[in-house]
Structure 1
Amino acid sequence: MTQTHTDDTPTVLLVDDEAALADSLALWLERRYRVRVAYSGREALQAFDDDVDLVFLDRNLPGLSGESVLEELRRRVDPSSFGVVMLSASPGDELTALPVDDVLTKPVTKRDVFDAAARLVGDAPEAKLE
């Protein structure tokens, strides 16, 4: 079965070094969104382009941190052109100071992820299965 997306289907970039989590999120989201997955900050910077509408970004990435990735993405393009949901293992007040649209504390639920995506990029039509 192949997912069919229209040209206006939002593109989501998932960035998490926990491959199992990133892959699970991708499986959930790919029914409604175009999905790209990156397992490191450097991969995230390579996978990001003007087509990305929403980034789910792990804060604690090894090497290039989620905050560093966020800073670079915001430098590259107009920050209002894409949304960012920071994923963090521990909630904290310092996260509210980050220039992000939402913060989700791990472990995240399917509902958390879809609610955040719907709030930030709209609820994409259910993909048709062929």
Structure 2
Amino acid sequence: MTQTHPSDTPTVLLVDDEAALADSLALWLERRYHVRVAYSGREALQAFDDDVDLVFLDRNLPGLSGESVLEELHRRVDPASFGVVMLSATPGDELADLPADDVLTKPVTKRDVFDAAARLVGDAPEANLD
């Protein structure tokens, strides 16, 4: 069943080569947002357009890395026009240097995802996270 949202609903692009994770995040978020899913860096570049308000981007994508995808997106459009949450399996100080608005360490919780989305697109956090 496809969710219907008002036209001013933010659009979120989820990018992760772990299909189960990307699909789970999409299921969570599609209750509140327009959601697009990409399973590779190249798919992410194809799925991104001016309608995207927020990108959840896996750092360690095979082939085209999350950092490379982000660099290309920043070349295409003003970085201030969309938010970026990097997803990383490895926490560390080097993550602070990423040109992202937020970094979440996997495994992520539903609360982590909704809180990050709420901060970056100005939406209210999800009340019922069960």
TM range (shorter): over 0.9
Q: Is the 8 A contact 2:114 2:126 kept in 1?
A: no
TM-score (norm 2): 0.94
Cα displacement (A) at 1:13: 0.1
**Gap runs ≥5 in structure 1:** none
Cα displacement (A) at 1:22: 0.1
**Moved segments of 4+, more than 2 Å:** 124-130
Q: Is the 8 A contact 2:54 2:84 kept in 1?
A: yes
Give 2:49's aligned residue: 49
Give 1:81's aligned residue: 81
Cα displacement (A) at 1:122: 1.9
Alignment CA distance shift 1:4-1:103 (3 Å): same
Q: Is the 8 A contact 1:52 1:82 kept in 2?
A: yes
**Gap runs ≥5 in structure 2:** none
Give 1:5's aligned residue: 5
Alignment CA distance shift 1:92-1:128 (3 Å): closer
For residues 81 and 30 of structure 1, the distance between their equivalents in structure 2, rounded to whole angstroms, comes to 21
Cα displacement (A) at 1:2: 3.9
Alignment CA distance shift 1:67-1:102 (3 Å): same
Deviations 1:61-103 (A, max 9, x none): 0000000000000110000000000000011111111110000
Give 1:34's aligned residue: 34
Q: Is the 8 A contact 1:3 1:128 kept in 2?
A: no
RMSD: 3.1
Cα displacement (A) at 1:3: 1.6
For residues 123 and 129 of structure 1, the distance between their equivalents in structure 2, rounded to whole angstroms, comes to 15
The aligned length equals 130
Alignment CA distance shift 1:128-1:105 (3 Å): closer
Alignment CA distance shift 1:58-1:102 (3 Å): same
Alignment CA distance shift 1:19-1:81 (3 Å): same
